[in-house]
Chains A and B, each alone.
Chain A
Amino acid sequence: MSTEFYRTGAPIEDGKAPDGVIAERWDNRRFAAKLVNPANKRKLTVIVVGTGLAGGSAAATLAELGYDVKSFCYQDSPRRAHSIAAQGGINAAKNYRGDGDSVHRLFYDTVKGGDFRSRESNVYRLAQVSVEIIDQCVAQGVPFAREYGGLLDTRSFGGAQVSRTFYARGQTGQQLLLGAYQAMARQIQAGKIEMHPRTEMLDLILVDGRARGVVTRDLVTGEVRNHFADAVVLASGGYGNVFFLSTNAKGCNVTAIWRAHRKGALFANPCYTQIHPTCIPVSGDHQSKLTLMSESLRNDGRVWVPLTGGDTRAPADIPEAERDYYLERIYPSFGNLVPRDIASRAAKNVCDEGRGVGPGGLGVYLDFADAIARLGRDAVAAKYGNLFEMYERITGEDPFETPMRIYPAVHYTMGGLWVDYDLQATIPGLFVIGEANFSDHGANRLGASALMQGLADGYFVLPNTIGDYLAAGPFEPLDDAHPEVADAAEAVRTRVAKLLAVNGSRTPDSFHRELGRIMWDYCGMERTDAGLRKAVGLIQALREEFWRDVLVSGESEELNQQLEKAGRIADFFELAELMCIDALHRTESCGGHFRGESQTPDGEALRDDETFSYVAAWEYTGDRPVLHREHLTFEYVKPSQRSYK
C-alpha cells in the first residue's frame, strides 16, 4: 500500500525474540547469548550518549564489566540529565506488602496500561528485573522512604491496585540518578569511563554498515571531533520538546536518535506521546516550559470546573451545586484516579466546552478543600507541602487557600528507535535504551514505570545483551581519514556552517514556538485526519522558511547556545512531520494516541486490533518514509477494552 504520505515496505520481525514459557525467556536469552572473555573486554570500547538513568547506569555497569566506556552529555555534568526531575517513584514487583503483587501482575498491568501495543516478552523481562533494581539502588545508598521499623515504604501510584511504588519523597528521580552518577564517578576515577560533558552528538559514524562511533561538537570550543568504538549506545531520552512547551528540560532533544534514524535506524511509533494531566497551566506568551505537579496530588485533590461556561467568579464563590466534579461524575469507580491519558482528555473536553478556568480558559481546578477539612491542614502539608510550595513559587497562589489550576502538558514519548529484544536497533552495533527506544510502554506509560525501564535497560538488560554483539569484536581500527568517517564529520561541519550562513530575520526560538503550536493543535491530545493533513503542510512550509530565514547569531568556534538550539530545531522539524504521518496512518485510538474518528459512543478511545495490532517502524528515505510493521501477538494477556468507569 502507498499513500501520498508514505510507502509500505516488508514487515519486520524481532530476530532476537526468545520463545517458550514467558517466565523463562530472559534466562534462555542470556544463556544463548555469546559471552566476551574478561581479558577481551578491555580491548573493546563502547560509546554511551546521554547520562540519565539509562545512560548513566549502562556506562557504570559496562565499565565495571571491564569495557572501556566513552560517555557524552550536553549538560555541564552527567548528574544533571533530566531523569533528575522525575518526582513520583519507581515500580518494582517486590510484594513487600503482601498485597497480591507479583512479577506477573506488574507485567499484566503494564501491558494493559500500554493499551496492548507493547511486546509481551519485553514487558515481562522488565517486571522481572524490577526487583533487582531496588536491591541495587539501596546498596548504592539511595535514601528511599522508610518505615519506623527501618524497612522500605511503598505507595500505590497511577491507579495501581497494589502498593508497589518505591519513592524518595517527591525526588525519586534525583536520588536514583545520583546513585547512577556516583557509580559512574567511581569508574571515571578508575579510568574506565572517559567523560565528555558539554559535548553533543551530531552524527553517527557507520563503517561497513556497523555503528562505529559518533561525531560530536564540543559546546565550549565548537570543535567537531570523531570518537570511535566497537558499539554505540544511545540513551538520549525522549523528544517531547518537539512541542516546544513540555515538562522536559530545555535542552532535551531528538538529535542523537534522529541522526541515527537518518542513517538507517527505524523509528517506531513516533506518534505515541504521553500528555500528563497535572501540570501548571501556561501563564503567557513568555512561557518557556511547563512544570509537572506530581500525579500523587490526585489521591486527595478533587478535579472540577464550573457547571456552566463563562463563569468568572472566584472558585470560593461558586457553590457546590454549580460545580462539575467531572472525573467523579464520568468515572465513578476510579474517579480522580483514572489513568493519565483519560484524565488529560477529559480536561481538554471541558475546556473545549468553554468551562475552563484561569487565563485563556485553559485550566481546571484541583481542589484540596475537602482533604484539608477531612485530614487537617498539617496532614495535607506533610504529604504535599513541597509540591504546594513549588506551585506557589510559580503561580503566586497558595493551594491551602485557593484551588490549584492545572492543565495537561506533554510529558513523555513512548515512541523511539526500534530495537529488538537485545535492545539493538536495525543498525548492527547500535543499541538504544531508556526513553530513546520504543520498547516497553506500548501506547501509554504507567506512572513510576519510566524510572524502572531506564534502570532496567542500563543496569541489567543491555550489559547482558551487548556482549552477544561484541563477542565478534574488536573491529578494525579507524582514524579520521577513513572515507566513511571523513564524510560524516564533513556533513556535520557543513550543516553547522549552513545554519550560521542563513543569517535571516527570525530567531530559532520563534520557529520552535510556532512548530510547537502546530504540533499541540493538530498532533496533541486529539488528532483527526483533516488536522494531521493540515499539520504536515504547515510543518513543511515552516521548515522551508526556517532554512531560508533563521537568524543564528555568533560563531561556530565558541560557546553558542543559539547554534545548539537551531540544530536541534532543524531535527525537530523532520521528526514532527513523521509524527504526524504516523498519527495519520494509525486511524485507531490507543493509549495516548486519540483519533477523533475512532471513539466509543461515550467518547472513549476505540482500538482496532484487527488492523493495528502492530508496531509501526518507519524507515527514512529523504522522501516519503517507508512503513515496516512488526506484528504483535498476545499469548498471556488477552487484549480487552480498557474501562475505568
Chain B
Amino acid sequence: MNLTLKVWRQKNATSRGHLTTYRVKEISPDMSFLEMLDVLNERLILDGDDPIAFDHDCREGICGMCGLVINGVPHGEQRATTTCQLHMRHFKDGDTIVIEPWRAAPFPVVKDLVVDRSAFDRIIEAGGYVSVPTGSAPDAHAVPVPKASADTAFDAATCIGCGACVAACPNGSASLFTAAKITHLGLLPQGQPERARRARAMVETADELGFGGCTNIGECTAVCPKGIPLATIARMNADYLGLAATGD
C-alpha cells in the first residue's frame, strides 16, 4: 500500500518542531509500524536526509521504550497495543497518518519523536519499592498471599512505563502510572510496612515534577497497552487520603 506520513521533526530539545510530509510506497500489510518507519529511514539516509529518530528496543511490546502518537492516539487506535505491535494491516492504501511524540510538559522532546521520560524513574525512586536488602528475605513460603491479592497485584504490576497514559491525559497526569505501582505493592503483605509513606512520597513527587492531577476522565486506561484499570487510581487516592485522615 502507499501512504502519506506527516511526521514531527525537531532537531533537538531547544529548537522548534514542525510536521514534515513523506510519501511511502509498497508498504506490506505484514510490516509493523516501526518497520514501516525503518523503510522510510533507509530511504532518507540514502537521499542524504536526516533519518527520523524514534525510541524502540524489544519490539515485542514489553520494554516500554517505543511510543508514538498516531493520528492523535498514543500507540494508535488498536486497543491494548504498543506501537511496535501495531501492524500495517490496520491501515488502508492511500491513508494519511500523523505521527507525533508524547506531548506533556514533564516529558520534553529530545529529538523528533524521542522524549525524555526520566520523570517516571524519579517517581519510582521516591518510594516505589519494598526495602529489603539482598539476603535478608525469609523463606518464600513464610508469608502466604491470597491468590486474589496476588492476581490483582500482578495486573497492576504489568505496567511497562511507556508513558502513553500521560500523553493521553488532558491534564498530563501520571496518576495511572503512579497508582499502578502503589496498587501492586500495596496489595501484597510485603508492601504493608511502607504503604502509607510510599503513597505520599510517590504522589507528591509526581506533583513536584509537574504532572497534572486526575479528574477521572479515563483516557489513560483507554490507551494503556497493558489495560491497567482506572480502579488503581481509586486505591492510590485511598492510600494517600487514608494516611492524611489518620495523620500518619
Contact = CB atoms under 8 A, between A and B. Distances in A.
Interface of A: 57, 60-61, 64, 75-80, 82, 84-85, 94, 96, 132, 134-141, 143-152, 168-169, 171, 174-175, 178, 181-183, 185-186, 188-189, 195, 197, 220, 247, 249-251, 283-284, 286-289, 291-292, 390, 393-396, 459-460, 463, 505, 507, 509-510, 551, 553-554, 558-559, 561-562
A395 B32 CA distance: 10
A464 to B, nearest CB: 10
A151 B141 contact: yes
B114 interface: yes
Given A136-B134, A148-B147, A287-B35, A76 B116 contact: yes
A8 B146 CA distance: 60
Contacts of B44: 553
B147 A147 contact: yes
A558 B12 contact: yes
B132 A139 contact: yes
Nearest to A82: B58
Contacts of B245: none
Given A220-B110, A249-B59, A553-B48, 7 more contacts: A77-B161, A168-B157, A186-B125, A288-B32, A393-B81, A396-B89, A463-B134
27 contacts: A76-B55, A77-B121, A78-B121, A79-B161, A80-B63, A138-B140, A140-B129, A140-B132, A141-B188, A143-B154, A143-B157, A143-B188, A146-B145, A151-B141, A152-B141, A174-B62, A174-B158, A175-B154, A182-B124, A183-B134, A250-B59, A284-B31, A289-B59, A393-B85, A460-B135, A505-B46, A558-B111
A178 B59 CA distance: 18
A178 B157 contact: yes
Contacts of B29: 396
Contacts of B51: 553-554, 561-562
Contact of A141 (B36, B144, B185): B185
A450 B129 CA distance: 24
A134 B63 contact: no
A195 B188 CA distance: 28
A283 B35 CA distance: 12
A172 to B, nearest CB: 11
Contact of A139 (B57, B117, B161, B190): B190
A390 B101 CA distance: 25
Contacts of A82: 57-58, 63
A84 B63 contact: yes
Contacts of A553: 44-45, 48-51
Contacts of B46: 505, 507, 551
Contacts of B56: 250
Contacts of B140: 94, 134-135, 137-139, 152
B191 interface: yes
A185 B126 CA distance: 8
B117 A171 contact: no
A453 to B, nearest CB: 16
B248 interface: no
Contacts, number: 222
Contact of A559 (B31, B45, B53, B130): B53
B100 to A, nearest CB: 17
B31 A286 contact: yes
Interface string B10-33: 011000000000000000111110
B130 A182 contact: yes
B39 A64 contact: no
Interface residues of B, number: 79
B240 interface: no
B110 A141 contact: no
The listed residue with most B CB atoms (<10 A of its CB), out of A145, A393, A562, is A393
B206 interface: no
Given A84-B58, A182-B129, A197-B118, A394 B85 contact: yes
A80 B89 CA distance: 28
A460 B134 CA distance: 8
B234 interface: no
A183 B129 contact: yes
A189 B118 contact: no
A182 B114 contact: no
B218 to A, nearest CB: 23
A137 B5 CA distance: 45
Given A151-B141, A509-B42, A141 B130 contact: yes
Contacts of B133: 61, 64
Nearest to A190: B125
B30 A284 contact: yes
Nearest to A505: B46
Nearest to B64: A80
Contacts of A57: 134
Contacts of A138: 137, 140, 143, 190
B58 A85 contact: yes
B60 interface: yes
Given A251-B57, A396-B87, A551 B150 contact: no
Contacts of B184: 141, 143
Nearest to B89: A396
Nearest to A553: B45
B154 A169 contact: yes
Given A136-B137, A138-B140, A553-B51, A75 B126 contact: no
Given A143-B188, A150-B144, A182-B129, A288 B134 contact: no
A542 B45 CA distance: 20
A135 B139 contact: yes
Given A138-B137, A396-B89, A288 B12 contact: no
Nearest to A287: B35
Contacts of A460: 134-135
Contacts of A146: 144-147, 150-151
Given A82-B63, A85-B58, A249-B59, A141 B118 contact: no
B65 interface: yes
A465 to B, nearest CB: 14
A335 to B, nearest CB: 28
A149 B144 CA distance: 7
Contacts of A247: 60
Contacts of B38: 286, 288, 509
Given A139-B138, A182-B124, A186-B131, A77 B117 contact: yes
B74 interface: no
Contacts of A284: 28, 30-31
A19 to B, nearest CB: 26
Contact of B63 (A85, A137, A292): A85
A334 B137 CA distance: 38
Nearest to A292: B60
A523 B58 CA distance: 24
B61 interface: yes
A463 B120 CA distance: 28
Contact of A185 (B45, B61, B125, B190): B125
A395 B88 CA distance: 11
B136 interface: yes
B172 interface: no
Nearest to B46: A507
B153 interface: yes
Q: Which of B35, B65, B81, B132 has the most C-beta atoms of chain A within 10 angstroms of its own C-beta?
A: B132
A79 B144 contact: no
